[in-house]
Each structure stands twice: as structure tokens, then as C-alpha cells.
Amino acid sequence: MSRTVLVAGGAGYIGSHVCKALADAGSVPVCYDTLEKGHAWAVKWGPLERGDIGDATRLDEVFIRHRPAAVVHLAGYIEVGESVRQPKRYLANNAGKTDALIAAALRHHVEAFVFSSTCAVYGIPQTDLLAETHPIAPISPYAESKVRVERALTIAAGHGLHAASLRYFNAAGADAGGEIGEAHDPETHLLPLAADAALGLGPALTLLGTDYPTPDGSCVRDFIHVSDLAQAHLKALDWLVSAPKGGVHEIFNLGSGTGYSVLQAVAETARIAGLPVPHSFGPRRPGDSPKLVGDVTKARLGLGWQPTRDLATQIEDTLRWRRKMPR
Ligand SMILES: NC(=O)c1ccc[n+]([C@@H]2O[C@H](COP(=O)([O-])OP(=O)(O)OC[C@H]3O[C@@H](n4cnc5c(N)ncnc54)[C@H](O)[C@@H]3O)[C@@H](O)[C@H]2O)c1
């Protein structure tokens, strides 16, 4: 369905892919971003409005100018390790400021609000696959900030908001057309760091933790292609717009449902690149869970969403992007 959508954090990695998917589907993405972490070069499919999600006056200006029918909220700080060192900064930016964005969405009567949550809200898994019903037990301030926003959205649903929290597992890969991709500074994610190490574009990789209770001692993660994630946002918007009136907040896991260890992902990168991935081993990073793999049945049945790009595709796209990305 064609609509104007305010994409908070749209200049970032996942947000720029959401903007592209929206535009491809005939909608107009209005990117709302401070550019503190995102990039003006990644805003290609609609207007860029610089602004902070905590700034109610600026939000009102932008809502009145563009009259978005929906909000996709991806704005936030994303580093688990940094959040452990700077908890107040993470809670203020990710949770505190989101209150202003939710209030603006209610004031301007948007039809749908989609929020980027994380599988990190589950903490240490008690089951092999994590379903949405798994207990919430965040072990980092980053994850805690996401739990707080989910709770705020449940309250906002009581005031009539139609909201979905999408708990992403590990976003990976890049646009197949090579137009956008992951460009964090510093980069902390495994696949881009492994690609850079293999291509000689970055330092040797340090693998964090060798003594986790997993088959090879490294963390196990569920990698999900960023373009598959982007498609899920479109499905969630359609689902929310057609939900019965009266307010709703629904939670969906977005992952592939398959786990790969860090060592397996590094070996796969070396195989696909045809180059070794230089690496060493370091201590565990505070705030990391041993294993996070999603049960994504609810998104499949509820949203009609299905991931289509496997780990090999994610690695191929990452290698192609890292060779050409602006640095
Ligand atoms: N990358 C992943 O694997 C992953 C996994 C789970 C959840 N998430 C969530 O998805 C979202 C997007 O992640 P990403 O990897 O694209 O991150 P990113 O850093 O590339 O993008 C985040 C964007 O938000 C902007 N931003 C930050 N604070 C802001 C504020 N107060 N006001 C306006 N803009 C602000 C930044 O400038 C940046 O452009 C984040 O909320 C993150 O927590 C990401």
C-alpha cells in the first residue's frame, strides 16, 4: 500500500534498507535522523529531515510538513558493550527520547508505528529456540532500553496506537544492488569485520569469547539479511493498518531460525572470499548471550513474512559492499 512513512533512524544501516523497500513499494520514506551515526549518502529514496527523536517541536514541524500515515522507529544507539560502560546515555537516547516520538505519533494520529527491538531482550536463553513468549531478562543497558520502549508501546496501545515491536536477531548483508550497506563507526558486527579482515581492508578479527557453553565455545547467532528485515517492516505496516480499531501492540521475532557459531561464520567468510580471515581470540564481551536463535513462526503466520536470503548470500553481499563502500 502506498503511503508516506516517517523513518526515524532512516540514515542508518537497517533504516536505509527500509527506506529503499518502502520506495520500491510505491511509498514515500521521510528520513528523520540526527546523522550522528547515519550517513546523508544513504538517504536516496525520499527527503531527509535532520532532527532528534527527543525534540517534540522539531517532530511537530516534520509531522505537519509531511503528514506521515505511519512511523518506523529505528533510531538509537546500538553497541551492547558501549551500553554497559555508558548505561545512562543508552537509556536516555533509546528509551527516554522515544517517549517524545510516541507522543508525537499519538498527537498526529498515525495509523501504524513499527519499532526496532532486539532479541537481546531475552538475555540468557532458557530454550533452544527463542519464541516471543520466552521470558524477558535483559543483561545489558542496550537491551533494557528496548524493553522500556516495548512497555511504552503497550501503554500507547491503550491510547489507540497500532504498534509492532520487531525483535531482530543479527542483521547482516547489504542491498543486492550495491547501493547501501553497513557502515558503522566503529564497526562491531561480525560479518563486516570478517570481510574487512579477509580483504585486507581492516585489522585481523578478534573473536570475543572461546568458553561459551556452545559446541565450539564461540557465541551462536541467528543472522538475518537486512533486505529480508526491510520487507518485514512493510508487512508489519500493512498488518497494523488493517488491524481492528482500538489500539494494539504486537511483538514479532525476525530471524532466520538457524544458528551459526561465530567460528562457523568466519570459516564461511573465508570459503566464500577465497581468502583466509586473519583472527585472534579475546575475552568475552560483557552483555553478550551465549546463543540467540529465533523461533520466527509468529512472523511467518501472522505477517506472511519469510526470509529468503541465506548466510552465504549475506556474506557475498557483505564482501561486495565492503569492497566499494565510502570510507
Ligand atoms: N544491527 C542489528 O543487528 C540490530 C539488531 C537488533 C536491533 N537493532 C536495532 O535496529 C535499529 C537500527 O540499527 P542499525 O544497525 O541500522 O543502526 P545505525 O546506527 O546504523 O542506525 C541508527 C540511526 O539512528 C540515528 N539516531 C540515533 N539516535 C538518534 C536520535 N536520538 N534521534 C534521531 N536519530 C538518531 C543514527 O544517526 C543512525 O542513523 C537500532 O534501533 C538497533 O537497536 C539492530
Of 76-85, 243-252, 280-289, the least confident: 280-289
**CA-CA-CA-CA torsion sign (261, 263, 266, 268):** negative
d(CA 171, CA 169): 6
Number of neighbouring beta carbons within 10 Å of residue 200: 9
pLDDT band at 251 (very low <50, low <70, confident <90, very high): very high
Looking at residue 285, its pLDDT comes to: 87
Mind listing the domains of the chain with CATH numbers? Answer: 4-172+223-254 (3.40.50.720), 190-221+257-324 (3.90.25.10)
36 lines ligand 1 (CB under 6 A): yes
Active site residue 90: no
Cell of 184: 558503522
168 lines ligand 1 (CB under 6 A): yes
Instruction: Return the percentage of the chain with pLDDT > 90, whole number.
Output: 95
pLDDT of 245 strictly over 90: no
> Which region, left, alpha or beta, applies to residue 275 given φ > 0 means left and ψ of -120 to 50 means alpha?
beta
The answer to whether 94 and 137 are in contact (CB under 8 A) is no
Question: Ligand 1 centre from 216 Cα, in Å?
Answer: 31
Q: HSE-up of 310 (CA within 13 Å, CB side)?
A: 5
CA-closest residue to ligand 1 atom 35: 75
pLDDT band at 158 (very low <50, low <70, confident <90, very high): very high
* H-helix or E-strand spanning residue 28: strand 28-33
pLDDT tens-place string over residues 206-241: 999 999 999 999 999 999 999 999 999 999 999 999
Of 90, 142, 212, 260, the catalytic one is 142
- Phi, psi (5° rounding) for residue 207? -90, 120
CA geometry: angle at 255 spanning 18 and 83, to 5°?
75
pLDDT tens-place string over residues 109-149: 999 999 999 999 999 999 999 999 999 999 999 999 999 99
Burial code of 203-230, b = ≥16 C-beta within 10 A, e = fewer? eebebbbeebebeebbbbbbbbbbbbbb
Looking at residue 2, its pLDDT comes to: 80
CA-closest residue to ligand 1 atom 12: 74
In sequence order, what are the beta bridge partners of 164? 114, 250
Of 13, 39, 82, 101, which is best to mutate to test ligand 1, by the most ligand atoms within 8 angstroms of its C-beta?
13
pLDDT of 1 strictly over 80: no
Question: Per the omega criterion (within 30 degrees of 0), is the bond before 192 cis?
Answer: no
29 lines ligand 1 (CB under 6 A): no
pLDDT of 289 strictly over 90: no
318 lines ligand 1 (CB under 6 A): no
d(CA 6, CA 63): 8
Looking at residue 70, its pLDDT comes to: 98
pTM value? Answer: 0.97
CA-closest residue to ligand 1 atom 23: 9
What does the DSSP assignment read for 239-293?
A: HHHTSPSS-EEEEEEES-S--EEHHHHHHHHHHHHTS---EEEEPPPTT--SEE-
For the segment 52-74, the average pLDDT, to the nearest whole number, is 98
Higher-pLDDT residue of 301, 245? 301
Looking at residue 244, its pLDDT comes to: 86
Number of neighbouring beta carbons within 10 Å of residue 151: 14
For the segment 12-34, the average pLDDT, to the nearest whole number, is 98
d(CA 110, CA 113): 7
Tell me the average pLDDT of the chain: 97
Looking at residue 112, its pLDDT comes to: 98
In sequence order, what are the beta bridge partners of 165? 115, 251
Please list, in sequence order, all residues whose beta carbon lies within 8 angstroms of the beta carbon of residue 26, skipping any fewer than 6 positions away: 2
pLDDT band at 286 (very low <50, low <70, confident <90, very high): confident
For the segment 89-95, the average pLDDT, to the nearest whole number, is 98
Q: HSE-up of 144 (CA within 13 Å, CB side)?
A: 14
pLDDT of 288 strictly over 90: no
